[in-house]
Amino acid sequence: MRTFILLSTLTPQGVMTLRATPERLLEVNREVEHFGGRVVRQWALLGDYDFLSVVEAPDERAMAQISAELSARGSAHFETLAAIPAEDLGGFLGGDEAPAA
């Protein structure tokens, strides 16, 4: 499984939905699982984004599908980042180990 960072910003519709049904946040996490991913950890944020979620998915294609499915609902905007473990960068930073595939 690959690790991704999902940054979410609620739309006005999303804010209203979450205010009316706070459990909706957990329902979305179950939907991520339905599409082949898994929410590992999640934080509410102050600032430009409302939530930061660490999501595991099989690959970039699966994560793109998850992001597209969630975005299509109109309740939030998403920015998805692939996360690479720092220890895998050894080869790029002058270390002896090559990055994992």
Distance CA 57, CA 85 (A): 15
The 10s digit of each residue's pLDDT in 44-66 is: 999 999 999 999 999 999 999 99
The whole-model pTM stands at 0.83
HSE-CB of 48 using CA atoms within 13 angstroms: 3
Over residues 81-96, the mean pLDDT reads: 79
Distance CA 4, CA 62 (A): 11
Share of the chain above pLDDT 90, in %: 74
Over residues 19-34, the mean pLDDT reads: 91
99: left (phi over 0), alpha (psi -120 to 50) or beta: beta
- What is the CA 48 to chain-centroid distance, rounded? 16
* Range of weakest confidence among 53-57, 79-83, 95-99: 95-99
Q: Are 7 and 77 in contact (CB under 8 A)?
A: no
Binned at pLDDT 50, 70 and 90, residue 25 comes out as: confident
**Structural domains of the chain ordered from first start:** 2-89 (3.30.70.60)
Query: 38: which DSSP letter?
Result: E
